[in-house]
């Protein structure tokens, strides 16, 4: 089963900005940027909210073209679409990451929606 992702040429800046306008989604991007490996699993984001909440936020990031989500058995592997975003909006993701990478790994109560 594969999940729909927008092609690189259809990643729209308003959708990207809207998705990144949420603290939890910005924290997810920061965690992905800090990650040494090529991808992370959904379980690695548990400190940011409930499973339901994380599924919602990851779907928003995927639909905007910010992350790639690949089902692998019972887990999902999440990675930044850095090359696609750099091709579409040169330098944009680096600016976002410069801020997001310093966000706390655990959001204060009320911020993780």
CATH number for the domain spanning 72: value is: 1.10.10.10
**pLDDT number for residue 108:** 56
Lowest mean pLDDT among 19-23, 43-47, 63-67: 43-47
**pLDDT number for residue 105:** 61
pLDDT in tens, 1-39: 678 999 999 999 999 999 999 989 999 998 898 886 778
Domain count, the chain: 1
End-to-end CA distance of the chain: 27
Residue 67, classed as helix, strand or coil, is strand
- Does some domain include residue 81? yes
- Does some domain include residue 1? no
- Does some domain include residue 84? yes
- Does some domain include residue 111? no
Residue 112 has pLDDT above 50, yes or no: no
Q: Name the residue with tokens 């991007």.
A: 29
Range of the domain at 94: 8-100
Torsion of CA 26, 97, 77, 16, to 10 degrees: 60
Share of the chain above pLDDT 90, in %: 55
How distant, in Å, are the alpha carbons of 1, 75, 79 from that of 44?
22, 11, 12
- Does some domain include residue 113? no
- Does some domain include residue 89? yes
Residue 72, classed as helix, strand or coil, is strand
Please tell me the distance from the alpha carbon of residue 71 to that of residue 105, in angstroms, as a whole number. Answer: 24
The predicted model gives 92-108 an average pLDDT of 76
Please tell me the distance from the alpha carbon of residue 55 to that of residue 67, in angstroms, as a whole number. Answer: 13
What is the band of 49 on the pLDDT scale with cuts at 50, 70, 90? confident
The predicted model gives 68-79 an average pLDDT of 90
- Does some domain include residue 112? no
- Does some domain include residue 109? no
């Amino acid at each position: 089963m594969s999940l729909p992702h927008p092609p690189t040429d259809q990643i729209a800046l308003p959708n990207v900005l809207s998705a990144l306008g949420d603290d939890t989604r910005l924290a997810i991007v920061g965690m992905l940027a800090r990650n040494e490996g090529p991808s992370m699993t959904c379980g690695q984001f548990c400190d940011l909210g409930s499973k339901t909440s994380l599924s919602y936020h990851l779907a928003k990031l995927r639909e905007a073209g910010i992350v790639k989500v690949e089902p692998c058995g019972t887990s999902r592997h999440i990675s930044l679409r850095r090359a696609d975003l750099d091709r579409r909006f040169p330098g944009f993701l680096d600016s976002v990451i410069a801020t997001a990478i310093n966000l706390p790994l655990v959001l204060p109560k009320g911020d993780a929606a």
